[in-house]
Amino acid sequence: MKTEKEKMLAGEVFNVYDPELVKERQYARQLVERFNALGEMNPTASNTVIRQLFGHVGEKCEVHSQFKCDYGYNIYVDDDFFANYDCVMLDVSPIRIGKHCLLGPRVQIYTVNHPLDPRLRRNGAYGQSKDVTIGDDAWIGGGAIICPGVTLGNNVIVGAGSVVTKSFGDNVVIAGNPARIIKKNPYVE
């Protein structure tokens, strides 16, 4: 029989109030609060906390404060990552972000959803998740929302305020609600 954490990581319906998961979220919130309290005043200490919190951090990582997440250990960022102010990553499933990626202010990346069955949604006790993957050289504009299960290819630009509900391949500029391809990215090496 699977634990609730195993169900969560497998993308199955799980009980969000499971004691193990509650404890892990509380630990992550302590690290997030420590990180946000440091702000811009001590970049070395801030980076140390992010490296404790995230599942993987590549070379050169900069995250600005008032960052929020659920668990932290499901966030994997590669080299040269930047997240501007007030970003939210609900990392119930893994969030994988490639090299040289930029997140504008207030970008939100969600891996968690709730079941369609209203009986399971009552009291918010059950969740279900899908991974989010973002390729290399992505730029996610301020206020954009990336929904559960989305994969974005390399060199994707997401317009500010967009809601990305489906996956897109490489070298495109997307925008809107729901996001759609606006044009091919002309700056491809």
The confidence score (pLDDT) of residue 189 equals: 62
Which among 47, 162, 45 has a CA at the least distance from the CA of 103? 162
Domain residues for the domain of 168 are 4-184
Residue 188 makes CB contacts below 8 A (sequence gap 6+) with 155, 171
Both tokens of 63, joined, read 């995250």
In a domain, 19, yes or no: yes
In a domain, 94, yes or no: yes
Query: 19, 101 in Cβ contact below 8 A?
Result: no
With respect to residue 189, please indicate whether it lies within any of the assigned structural domains. no
Residue 142 resides in a domain: yes
User: pLDDT (tens digit, 9 = 90+) per residue, 126-172?
Assistant: 999 999 999 999 999 999 999 999 999 999 999 999 999 999 999 99
β-sheet bridge partners, residue 81: 61, 101
- Model pTM above 0.85: yes
pLDDT for res 107: 98
* pLDDT of res. 187: 76
CATH code, domain with 13: 2.160.10.10
pLDDT at 45: 94
114 is catalytic: yes
- The single residue of 56, 64, 100, 114 carrying the catalytic annotation is 114
Domain for residue 136, yes or no? yes
- Segments of the chain scoring below 50 in pLDDT: none
Q: How many domains does the chain have?
A: 1
